[in-house]
Amino acid sequence: MKIMSYHNMSAASVARKIRSGEFSVSDIVRACLECIGNMDGTLNALITREDQKALQRAAFLEKAIASGEDPGPLAGVPVIVKDNMCTRDIRTTCASRILADWRPPYNSTVVEALENAGAVILGKSNMDEFAMGSSTEHSAFGPCRNPWDTERVPGGSSGGSAAAVAAGYVPLALGSDTGGSIRQPASLCGIYGLKPTYGLISRYGLIAFASSLDQIGPFTRNVEDLALALNVLAKPDHRDSTCSRKARPDYLEALETGSLSGKKVGLVKEFRNYRLPPEISASVDRILKILQEAGAIIEEVSLPVTMTSGLGAYYIIAPAEASSNLARYDGVRYGLSAEADDLLSLYLKTRKAGFGSEVKRRILTGTYVLSSGYYDAYYLTAQKVRQIITREFAEAFSRVDTLIMPTSPSPAFRIGELVDDPIQMYMMDVFTLPVNLAGLPGLSLNGGYSAEGLPLGVQMVGPKWGELEILSMAHVIERELGPAPIAPGGVTDEN
């Protein structure tokens, strides 16, 4: 079998074929590792490769299958995990010098879930340091490149996972999304990315950026795989008090019954206030048309506070939490530890050498907004705005079933283009971060291409616990547009 035929496969079909014995776990794992070996020198989507562990695990799963065991719904599916999710004994760096050699003694809940479902982890993906960024350029391990155009960024912060799925390394990768870090790279890489409702998937073992906003989610090239991933990942977890204890539906099963007649889709009209390339509006219109033809009713919805004040609130709350979450990297217990003569210089030298500039910027911002005398003006005000945004969304969802807007104000930009302009970089999250502030589920799917042939994502937002709603609509769209293709710079028969 040619390499290509593996790499186009969905996670669901890999699992089906492995369960039916069409090919072995080692077959696909070897093929994926080979392609990663060929391509990752260019893309730099992975920080850590675990070829040997992956092959051992493949052999282990094969033995289990041979003895009649069913490894689970992700039987033999090769996956890649963002490098901010703890993997026992596998280096987990957050793309930071401060954790460059850190090997966690424990597995995150999602890694446990993937393995219990039969998946094979091939490596850890590149990202913006501590998930702070929208381009995967802020990495201590060098920038990741977009397989659609290797001169361009894949988005971020989960750019490595998005690039890996878009390039055909694996059918499924995990990312984390604090202000758009799954949806924006999914958009820039032309694939599917889902940020679930806050509390749907356990954060235990996810190295925190902003605890009240972080959520783990999947990247795939089709909707069925998103549902499959949710079935595996979305479970209550006693180790995460913010993870909901409510029962989750069978996302795969419910997908098949999705019908759009009578469904109401709200178009968030404020996105038109932003200067966007015309192709972005066109891709939104294209998606709306498909939904309309499938029976959905489209109406305009206004989120005035959300679309004007969300960004400001986000860039207070997220850095505030980050400044506290990242304080533990002090060189005392683990990670980078600078040579120093006294305690204060140990702290100063370690953190100076260990953190990159963007992380430092956010720690400074966060420390400032929490400081006495400024707390009320910044942090408290931002929390009030957050409440208003949450209410605005809730009101909208009392009238419509889902909301539509672009995922990103821009297609993939050039490496280096925005890296020295933090405000422009922060703007990349303007359509995605309100969804985190409100704790809602958001999905990005491809809605078309720019004049240069770069993918353009459209974002679908659901009400709290409304994953099924947006998955079902995305499914309808996929039936029309087909699954996401492997990027031109990705795996081909030749490589």
Partner 1 sequence: MKTDFSPVIGLEIHVQLNTLSKLFCPCSTDYIGTVPNTNVCPVCLGLPGTLPVLNGKVVESAVRTALAIHCRINDATRFHRKNYFYPDLPKAYQISQYDLPVGEEGYIDINTEDGSSKRIGIIRLHLEEDAGKLVHAAADGRLAGATSSYVDYNRAGVPLAEIVSAPDLSSPAEAKEYVSRLRQLVRYLGVSDGDMEKGSMRVDANISVKCSDGRWGNRTEIKNMNSLRAMERGLAYEIERQSGILEKGGTIVQETRHWNDAQGITLSSRSKEEAHDYRYFPEPDLPPLFLPDGYVEKMASTLPEMPWIRESRFIRDYSLPEKDVAVITENPDLADLFEECVSGGASPERTSNWIRTEVLRVIHERKIPVSEFPLSSSVLAELIALIDSGKVSNTAAKEVFECILQTGVTIDEALVRCEVQAGGISGSRLENIIREILQNNVPVVQTIRAGEDKKGKKGKFLMGLVMRETRGQADPREVREMLSELLGQ
Interacting residues with partner 1 (CB under 8 A): 84-86, 92, 94, 99, 102, 104-106, 108, 203-208, 210-212, 238-242, 320-321, 323-324, 327-328, 330, 332-334, 343-344, 347, 367, 370-372, 375, 379
**If residue 430 lies in a helix (H) or strand (E), which one and from where to where?**
none
Would you mind telling me the total number of residues written for the chain in this entry?
A: 495
C-alpha 277/C-alpha 150 separation (Å) is 21
Kindly tell me the burial class for residue 288, based on how many C-beta atoms sit within 10 Å of its own C-beta (0-12, 13-18, 19 or more).
middle
Nearer to partner 1, 280 or 433 (CB): 433
Task: Tell me how far, at minimum, the Cβ of 161 lies from partner 1, in Å.
Answer: 17
Give the three-class secondary structure for 467. helix
Q: How far is the CB of 204 from partner 1 (least distance, A)?
A: 5
108 vs 410, beta carbon nearer partner 1: 108
Residue with tokens 């709290």: 464
State the residue for tokens 């795969």: 252
- Identity at 63, one-letter amino acid code: K
Give whichever of 94 and 230 is closer to partner 1, judged by the CB atom. 94
92 vs 283 by CB, closer to partner 1: 92
- For partner 1, give the closer residue by CB, 88 or 361: 88
Beta carbon of residue 475, minimum distance to partner 1 (angstroms, whole number): 33
Structure tokens at 322: 């980050």
CA distances from 289 to 283, 386, 477 (A): 10, 32, 10
Q: Which of 242, 194, 206 is nearest to 110 (CA)?
A: 206
Task: Provide, rounded to whole angstroms, the least separation between the CB of residue 202 and partner 1.
Answer: 9
Residue 97 Cβ vs partner 1, minimum distance, rounded to whole Å: 14
Instruction: Write down the least CB distance from residue 232 to partner 1, Å.
Output: 19
What residues form DSSP beta bridges with 176? Answer: 216
Nearer to partner 1, 376 or 493 (CB): 376
Q: Please, what is the minimum distance in Å from the beta carbon of residue 324 to partner 1?
A: 5
Kindly list the strands in the beta sheet with 264-268, ordered across the sheet, starting from the edge strand earlier in the chain.
46-49, 120-125, 78-82, 172-177, 215-220, 192-195, 442-449, 455-461, 402-406, 264-268, 297-301
Cβ distance to partner 1 smaller for residue 163 or 435? 435
Task: Please tell me the distance from the alpha carbon of residue 120 to that of residue 55, in angstroms, as a whole number.
Answer: 9
Cβ-based burial of 305 (10 A; exposed 0-12, middle 13-18, buried ≥19): middle
Which positions are annotated as active-site residues?
A: 82, 157, 181
Nearest to 223 by CA among 185, 256, 174: 256
Within 153-203, where are the H helices? Answer: 159-166, 183-189
User: Which amino acid, residue 38?
Assistant: N
